[in-house]
Amino acid sequence: MSKIDIKNIKKLREETSASVLDVKKALEEAGGDFEKAKEALIERGKAIAAKKTAERTVGAGLIHSYIHTGGNIGSMIQLECETDFVAKTDEFKDLAQEIAMQAAIKDYFDVGELLEDEYIRDPSKKVSELVTEAIAKTGEKIVLSKTARFSI
């Protein structure tokens, strides 16, 4: 069992993007067990993301393209969020890049199939989990609306 100290709080905050107070509370509730606290924070983040997704509408976002080295495969996605402010953040742009790169690996039948596929950088995660994590970090609803893949 880990003790609750600043080192564990910092590490857990970095890994989950939760607030310091939420991290401290999760560690206390888990009796100092780092992994249990991390899992509790992830589950709490998923619940918050689900609530935001259900209650809010999107009105901003961006179109992002990815061209694979060599130029014979590429993709384009439409990723939406609630505000222009979030659409301009590096986190949102990084998410768009990761999803566009994922969209280039194969022809997906629809957006839902892409979201349920294994993430290419971490097969233990689904692409939808990347979106959920971004929702938890930004505090806004994020929706992948469209994808297209091009190849020669």
DSSP-derived secondary structure for 91-134: HHHHHHHHHHHHHTSS--SSHHHHHHSEETTEEEEEHHHHHHHH
What pLDDT shows up at residue 57? 82
pLDDT digits (tens, 9 = 90+) for 1-41: 446 778 888 888 877 777 788 888 888 888 888 888 888 88
Domain boundaries, given as residue ranges, for the chain: 6-55, 60-151
Question: Are 140 and 52 spatial neighbours (Cβ–Cβ below 8 Å)?
Answer: yes
Decide which of 3.40.50.1980, 1.10.275.10, 3.40.50.150, 3.30.479.20 is the CATH code for 60-151: 3.30.479.20
The model's confidence at residue 151, banded by pLDDT at 50, 70 and 90, is: very high
CATH 1.10.8 fits 6-55, yes or no: yes
The residue among 33 and 45 whose pLDDT is bigger is: 33
Token match 């742009």: residue? 93
Sheet of 73-81, strand order: 60-67, 73-81, 142-151
**Residue spans of alpha helices (H) in the chain:** 6-16, 20-29, 34-55, 84-87, 90-103, 111-116, 127-138
Hey, which residues does 143 pair with through a beta bridge? 80
What pLDDT shows up at residue 1? 43
